[in-house]
Structure 1
């Protein structure tokens, strides 16, 4: 297997870069979308409950089915892959963002308003920082989850390491088929670990010591 990896080192590195790029950009987009929705609904109990229900139900949709449905309007390739990965990435982040913001003691926001802050100022400077550890936990869970979904996106010719996995599975019994599938799988796991370590570092840099778990 080592010889197989060495011979295809450049290809593996390029596909690993594509895979990481697809996941990171999709998670960043999902975070922006989920945060916007959470900010709009967290003060309303019914809307917050509806958002949590949507995030739970959305995760039950099989990724193969969603990717297949996206092919008709968006075709094969990057667009369908990005939409699918972003969709799944947004769901855990939305749930944690709603729970995190709703869990902030209202007295903190009231105290900030009493000091002259606007509602937006209290949200940005008080509520979001206090909810950030919960939100970041959702981002970490989401990132690990969509690492695998990004590999499945190879089903619609999406970028990344899924091509190695699907190629190996399609040729089981043939030369290097197992090596191909194992290479793709192990590379995805390594990328997932590296990205998670980076998110841990982000938490260390962005979560105030006083509220760290």
Structure 2
């Protein structure tokens, strides 16, 4: 494997693909978190609705990413639209489960005390329940981010952006010049992105989670 020869003169291309991959992941995770929190807030007070939503989220994670992408091609075509739709779907599922678990784990005595001092329900949610559930939610965000970083490589199948194009290009011409180096480089850069994003989320947790909750 002549990795040095492959990398020579490709720094600009690799930086651009890495930026594309990172940007796609961050945007899809943010979108997934927003969707997941909205759904969790809507269902967590009902035991039946929370259980059903959690079960559906588990089922959703079993859907093969390539199969989902193939289905999304029909209404959305190729490119960014099916890529974002698929990744946001997967990003939302771990966060949705953790948000429901976190919100339902808030002690009743805490919420009753907040209501007892005159807080409306929305303020109890924002000021008490969400901060209390945040460590569990953040764990879901970390799981979601790691999963999406890897799955994002698959969007190259529908001409989506990111480092998947390097991997698919290499795998499609194994045995040819630079094929193994292309797949290896794409994989290593994806792993680096995953490590960097997880480190940033760990730092976010240290900055936002009080010692008592931690």
TM-score range (shorter-chain normalised) is over 0.9
Q: What residue in structure 1 maps to residue 97 of structure 2?
A: 95
Q: What residue in structure 2 maps to residue 136 of structure 1?
A: 138
Q: 1:7: how far off? A: 1.8
Q: 1:91: how far off? A: 0.5
Q: What residue in structure 1 maps to residue 128 of structure 2?
A: 126
- Distance in 2 between residues matched to 1:13 and 1:4, nearest whole Å: 14
- Distance in 1 between residues matched to 2:149 and 2:13, nearest whole Å: 19
Q: What residue in structure 1 maps to residue 64 of structure 2?
A: 62
Q: Which one of the candidate residues 5, 16, 19 is aligned to 2:18?
A: 16
Q: 1:116: how far off? A: 1.4
Counting only pairs closer than 5 Å after superposition, residues 1-213 of structure 1 correspond to structure 2 as 1-212=3-214
TM-score, structure 2 length as denominator? 0.98
Q: 1:2: how far off? A: 2.3
Q: 1:6: how far off? A: 3.3
Q: 1:115: how far off? A: 1.2
Which has the higher mean CA deviation after the structures are superposed, 34-43 or 3-12? 3-12
What does the per-residue CA deviation read over 1:27-56, in whole Å, with 9 as the maximum and x for residues that have no partner? 000000000000010010010001101110
Q: 1:3: how far off? A: 3.0
Q: 1:94: how far off? A: 0.3
- Distance in 2 between residues matched to 1:138 and 1:119, nearest whole Å: 25
- Distance in 2 between residues matched to 1:169 and 1:192, nearest whole Å: 21
What does the per-residue CA deviation read over 1:60-95, in whole Å, with 9 as the maximum and x for residues that have no partner? 100000000111110100010000000001000000
- Distance in 2 between residues matched to 1:11 and 1:146, nearest whole Å: 22
For structure 1, which runs of at least 5 residues remain unmatched after alignment?
none
- Distance in 2 between residues matched to 1:190 and 1:5, nearest whole Å: 16
- Distance in 2 between residues matched to 1:186 and 1:168, nearest whole Å: 13
Query: After the TM superposition, which parts of structure 1 deviate over 2 Å for at least 4 consecutive aligned residues?
Result: none
For structure 2, which runs of at least 5 residues remain unmatched after alignment?
none
Q: Secondary structure at the match of 1:7?
A: coil
